[in-house]
Amino acid sequence: MGRQSAFAPAHPRNRGPSPPLHGGCAAYVEGTHDTFEQPTRRATPERGQTGGMSTLKPHPGASPESTALVERVAQQLRGRGERMTAPRRAVLTVLARDREHLSVDEIARRVATVAPGVHLTSVYRTLEALAALGVVQHVHLGHGSTAYHLVDPGEEHAHAQCRTCGRVWDLPLDLLDPVATALRRDLSFELDPSHAALSGLCAGCA
């Protein structure tokens, strides 16, 4: 039997969400997930948002884990004096429910099923605000795309992406410590390993 990889294998498409990262590596791919139940409520329009008030639609079969995660992030925001607006709750609901690395357009399409009144521009502004607060991490993937996902404050990590199938893996930042040390010593260059994904081929595409 061959040597087992130190990293979690990539999951094929159209499966459920991978478990959250706990000190190791995990693969996240787009799939079918359960929905998040949110009682209907009046939304607070963001500054510059048109189209009136948006409403969060109820979703049967809520995941207790995603519900708890959204509420935990909401408490973090309130603890910093930030408001939990309807666009923020809708974006967090999607990211907590699906636990994937999603583009802005993908997030906007899924947000439309939760809060139809939240427009693409509001999703952009919300992601920028949540990233600045350390609640959401963005990573640049191949072909100029950018993906977003939830992250605990201070728990940013590196990524690897298969350039053929597009699967993305989370990697611990200290995996690249030797590279960062060599660049600092030899080139006076400070590496930001969480900003862009490493590119290569997974076992299934090699």
**Mind listing the pLDDT tens digit for each residue in 76-108?**
888 888 888 899 999 999 998 888 899 999 999
The answer to whether 38 and 59 have CB atoms below 8 angstroms apart is yes
Q: What domains does the chain contain, in order, with CATH numbers?
A: 51-155 (1.10.10.10), 157-206 (3.30.1490.190)
**Mind listing the pLDDT tens digit for each residue in 106-130?**
999 999 998 999 999 999 999 998 8
**Mind listing the pLDDT tens digit for each residue in 154-203?**
677 888 999 999 888 889 888 899 999 999 999 999 998 888 889 999 99
Burial class (CB in 10 A: 0-12, 13-18, 19+), 201: exposed
**Mind listing the pLDDT tens digit for each residue in 53-71?**
334 444 443 477 778 888 8
